[in-house]
Amino acid sequence: MQLKPRSPGNAPSLRRALAAAAAGLLAGGTGRAQEPPSDPPSTTIDSALLVYHEVNRVQAIEPELNLTYKVNEDSTLALGVAADSLTGATPLGAVPSTLPQTYVRPYKVVPLGTPVTVTSASGGSTVMIIPPATGAKTQTLGASTTVVPNTYPLDRGFYDRRVAGHLGWEQALTETLKLDGGVAYSKEHDYRSESAHVGLSKDIDAHNTTLSAAVNYESDLSSPLGGTPTPLTEMSAEWKGPDATLHEVDAVLGITQVMNRRWLTTLSYSYSDAHGYQTDPYKIISVVDPVTGQPMRQLYESRPESRRKQSAFFDNKIHLTADVISASLRAYKDDWGIKSLTADLRYRWQIGANYYIEPHVRYYTQGAADFFRYYLVSGSAVPAYASADTRLAKFHAQTYGMKFGVPFDATSELYARIEYYDQHGNGSPAGAIGQLQQQNLFPDLKAYTLLLGYTYAF
C-alpha cells in the first residue's frame, strides 16, 4: 500500500489511499429492482388493557389507546384516550376497634317529601334520612356503614369511573431542536383535572447528548360526594362545603447521554409546586380515648394547602449481546416531610429472534409525612394538620413482575405482563394505647396486575 501524508487539494493522494484493493470488491450488494419501497410507518397505535386486583380491596379495569401520526418529517401528532372503572373498598383512615363501629356519610340530596325506602345504598351501607332544617326544600340522605370488631375500617361503597384524554404535538424546529406541547383532561364523577405542558429538547455532540426541559401546569377541581368537608370537623351525613381547587406547576430538566454503543443513561431533576385543596375528602382520623384506645370521634383529615416536591431520577439502559438491562433509581422529597427511594430493575431476556421474557423487580421505601398520625388522642391539642392515610405513612413496597413479549417486526408487538405488589408498614406502632395494641394499624396491601399490550405501526 502506498501512502502519503494528508495533503489538501491533492486529488491523487485520496485515490491512492483508497486504491488498495481491487475494484471488484465493490460488487458486494449490487442493487436489484427499481420499484419504490413502501413508505415508512406514519401511524402508530399503542393499546393496552390493565386488570388490577387488590386482595379484599379495589378492583379496576382500564383500557388505554394512544395514537401517533407523523404529519410530515418534522411534526408528529399524538392522541390518547383512557377509561377506568374502579369498585371495591378503600381504607377510611379510622382505627380498628374491639367494638362494632358505625360510620355515616352524605349520600344524596333529594326534594323534600321524596319517599325514601331505607335500604342498601351501596357496598352494604344503609340509607338514613337526615331531619331537614325548618323551611328547607330539600333533604339529605346519609349512608351508614357498620364495621365489625377487630377489622380495619374500609369504605365499601367505593365506586369510580374515569375518562381521560390527551392531545400533543411535537415539532422539530431544527435538526437538533424539538418543541413539544399538549393538553390533557381527566374526569371522574367527583374530580376533574385539566393540564397543559410544553417542552424543549436539544441534541448536542452528534446526538450523543440530549438536554431537555419541560413544564406542566395542572388545574384540578374536587367535587366530593357529599361536598367538601371542613378539615378536622366531625364526620357526619350533613352535606358539606363547595367544590375545591388545586393548582400545580411541575418542571423537569433532563440530560440523556449515550455513554457508549451499549449504554444510554438519563439523569433528570423535577420540581413541583402545588397550591390548593390536597386533603382527601373521604379520609378520616380517629380520636381515641387516652386510656382504652377506643375511638370516640372521627374527624375529617387535614393536609397543608401547599406542597413542594423534588425528585432526582437516574435511568440506565444497557445492551448486552442481545438482552437489555433497564435500571433506575429515584430519590424524592417534599416539604410534607416525605422522603422516598425507588429502585427498579428489568432484564429483557431475548429468547431467539421472536420472543423475550422480562423479569422485573422494584423496591420502594418512604418515610412518613410530618403530620401523619395513626390516630389522635382525646384531650390532647388537635394539630393543624393530621392524616391517618397510610399512603403518607412510613412503609416499603416490593413489585415482582414478568413480561412476555412477541415483537412481530420492528413496528408491532404483543405483550402480556403480570405483576405482584406488596406494601408493608408498621401495624403496631410504639406507644399504642389500650386496645390499639392488639390491632393492626397498617392495612397491608397486596395487588396483582395483568397488563396486555398491543402496538402496531403502519
Kindly tell me the burial class for residue 284, based on how many C-beta atoms sit within 10 Å of its own C-beta (0-12, 13-18, 19 or more): buried
Question: Looking at beta carbons only, is 73 or 352 nearer to other proteins?
Answer: 73
| Cβ nearer to other proteins, comparing 108 with 309 | 309
The span of 116-124, 148-156, 219-227, 448-456 binding other proteins (CB under 8 A) equals 448-456
| Contact positions with other proteins (CB under 8 A) in 124-163 | none
289-328 footprint of other proteins as x/- string (CB under 8 A)? --------------------x-xxxxxxx-x----x----
User: Are 445 and 54 a contacting pair, CB within 8 Å?
Assistant: yes
Interaction between residue 449 and other proteins (CB under 8 A): yes
**Which residues ranging from 410 to 439 are in contact with other proteins (CB under 8 A)?**
410, 413, 415, 417, 421, 423
Using rule CB under 8 A, residue 261 touches other proteins: yes
> Under the criterion CB under 8 A, does residue 31 sit at the interface with other proteins?
yes
The residues in 197-256 that bind other proteins, with binding defined as CB under 8 A, are 199, 201, 203-212, 214, 250, 252-256
**Residues in contact with other proteins, shown as a per-residue x/- string from 176 to 195 under the rule CB under 8 A:** --x-----------------
- Tell me how far apart the alpha carbons of residues 271 and 336 are, in angstroms, rounded to a whole number: 14
Q: Is 352 in the site for other proteins (CB under 8 A)?
A: no
Least Å distance, CB 380 to other proteins, is 25
Contact residue for other proteins among 89, 92, 244, 264 (CB under 8 A): 264
Residues 92-131: x/- map of binding to other proteins (CB under 8 A)?
----------------------------------------
Query: Is there binding between residue 451 and other proteins (CB under 8 A)?
Result: yes
Distance CA 277, CA 307 (A): 10
Rule CB under 8 A: which of 55-94 touch other proteins? 62, 64, 66, 72-73
Separation of alpha carbons 115 and 119, rounded Å: 12
Q: With CB under 8 A as the contact rule, which of the stretches 146-154, 219-227, 405-413, 436-444 interacts with other proteins? A: 405-413
CA-closest candidate to residue 350, choices 400, 407, 399 = 407
Q: Shortest approach of other proteins to residue 169 CB, angstroms?
A: 15
Q: For residues 18 and 381, which CB has a smaller minimum distance to other proteins in the complex?
A: 18
Min dist CB 306 to other proteins, Å, is 16
Span from 25-33, 96-104, 121-129, 140-148 in contact with other proteins (CB under 8 A): 25-33
**Any contact of residue 270 with other proteins (CB under 8 A)?**
yes
Q: Is 130 or 267 the residue whose CB approaches other proteins more closely? A: 267
* CB of 415 closer than 8 Å to CB of 404: yes
**Closer to other proteins at the Cβ: 122 or 326?**
326
Give min distance, CB of 274 to other proteins, in A.
11
Cα(181)–Cα(179) distance, integer angstroms: 7
Q: Is 13 in the site for other proteins (CB under 8 A)?
A: yes
The site for other proteins, by CB under 8 A, has a size of 117
Residue window 372-401: x/- pattern of binding to other proteins, with contact defined by CB under 8 A: -------------------xx----x----
Query: Contact 325/318 with Cβ under 8 angstroms?
Result: yes
Kindly tell me which of 54 and 293 has the beta carbon lying closer to other proteins: 54
Nearer to other proteins, 248 or 441 (CB): 248
Residue number with CB closer to other proteins (212 or 435): 212
